[in-house]
Structure 1
Amino acid sequence: MSLKIRMSRGGAKKRPFYRIVVADSRAPRDGRFIEKIGFHNPMVPADHAERIQINLDRAKHWLSVGAQPSPRVHRFLADAGVMDKPSIPEQTKKNQPKAKAQERIREREEKAKEAAEAAAAAEAEAAEAAAAPAEEAAAEEAPAEEAAAEETNA
């Protein structure tokens, strides 16, 4: 018999109230359960004390016996410090863009990469062009200085 720690819905229409119960996994959601260990009232504010209450001792007992919590109850128990936080799954195929959208994204990335390379090449050419006139000016000044030095020596 596999045990689940899950929520059983109660309350009126559009006014939900959940009992946190330990039940056989084959039992109906709102049907037979083994033990009630807490409740969850989503209609009160999140910081209110009456929003969620769990008997942590009983929850620990049932977890040690092998009961598996539902994802929502797992989160409640993790917030209470009984269990580790559930891991967030990596991206799945369903939440990724479709094939054409991925192709458009790849094309945009390639264009951006090419534009960045072109800008870097233009910058390098501009730096070379700026350095080249400075070298030519220095080369032109050197013979003029030599001629002036010869005139003063003569």
Structure 2
Amino acid sequence: MVDFDRFQILQFFSLAGSDLTVQIPVWLSKLKNLEFLALDFNQITGPIPSWLGNLPRLSYIDLAHNRILGEFPKQLCRLPRLLYEPIASQAEDQYEFALPIFCNIITTNQIFRPQKLSSFPTMVGLSNNNISGYIPVEIGQLHLLCWLSLGYNNFSGVIPNQISN
């Protein structure tokens, strides 16, 4: 159903708050330029697919407030953009676009300011799901991670010391 050739340059993908009741679609794995993935506040089920860790440019992933099951995949701890600084030519943010800035306060005025993808913090947001098992020690490899949200899940074991890396 999706013509992947037309989506090859897609960098920003958000269906947050769309009441989706599916699993994370496999066709997203073909989006090698994807940097920003926001699927929070839906009813997404199933596990976090391990192929998310293979997306070379992904640096912002928000899957919070869903019904995701399974364990924290170690492959997420291998996201290249969270492990090391990109080469200057890859890091160049060529496109500027207007995105709505939302607040928790309901207002009639939405503010649209020019944004660049690099203005978003590096993030892994998995809170408010049904993720179980251990938090992998490999999480300490994500030296460029700015925001990690794992609350309100069913993790067991201890918080790994490596998380402070």
TM-score, L = length of structure 1: 0.24
Point out the structure with the larger helix share.
Answer: 1
- The structure showing larger relative contact order (alpha-carbon pairs under 8 Å, at least 6 residues apart) is 2
